[in-house]
Structure 1
Amino acid sequence: MGLRVADFQLVNCGDQPYALEGYPQLSLRDDRNDAVPVAVEHGAAGITTGASNLDEAPRPVTLAPGQAASFGMVWRNLVTDSAVPATTARIVEVEPRPGAPRLWLRLAAPVDLGNTGRLGLGPWRPMTR
């Protein structure tokens, strides 16, 4: 079935509260750092029904120093059209909140979208540590 999921964490390493709201801005890049075309959708609808945490309503999250928040992604490694090349990304580029510096996360295992071109994204969620 090719279902893939990943979770990412953001830790407030500063000395002031860090506010997050809604969803991070997300893009993908390949091995040459070129942008990978992908439709980022809020939630898991249309990809799977088994990722309820991705379908939660977004809510404001304020991180005190040392606290963490996370978001999840879901996709399928699925080839639906043999004439369309499969897409693979090794870098997830995340903007935690509007205007914040973009973070480049180089992955050990790729985001292998097949040729679906779709990625489901969950909202920020506070974490307990």
Structure 2
Amino acid sequence: MTIQNAEALKAAFAAADKGDPVPLVNLYDDAMIWAGFTLDGTQRLYTKAEFLEAFGILAKLDESRNEVTDVSVIGDEIVVADVRAYRRLGEHELDITMVMTHRFVDGKVTHGADIVPSSFERFWAATGLTV
């Protein structure tokens, strides 16, 4: 089942990058909890709604892309994805690989966490954007 989850994750990210966020939104369970980063580099827990709302900042950028470049399947429920994240606002660019860990239950992501390099918060600080 986890191989199918990994394929679903890659397909959902690819669809979102082409402008169709529905597969990715549907992949996340409504009760999902995500341990993620804020723009200043601190970590916090997000609900699904908060997690998706935070992605709204990407609309303020000149360019934004996410590409799953590799996945690792661990046991029956865990999919770890290397995600190349590109962001640009004017002269400010961010081109990183972040790691996103997803726990799948019955085909839905119920829990997740990500880790980003320190250039993440430096980019957001330079842009002056906030959520």
TM-score w.r.t. length of structure 1: 0.32
Give the structure with the larger helix fraction: 2
Whichever of the two has the greater Rg, that structure is 1
Structure with the bigger RCO (C-alpha within 8 Å, sep 6+) is 1
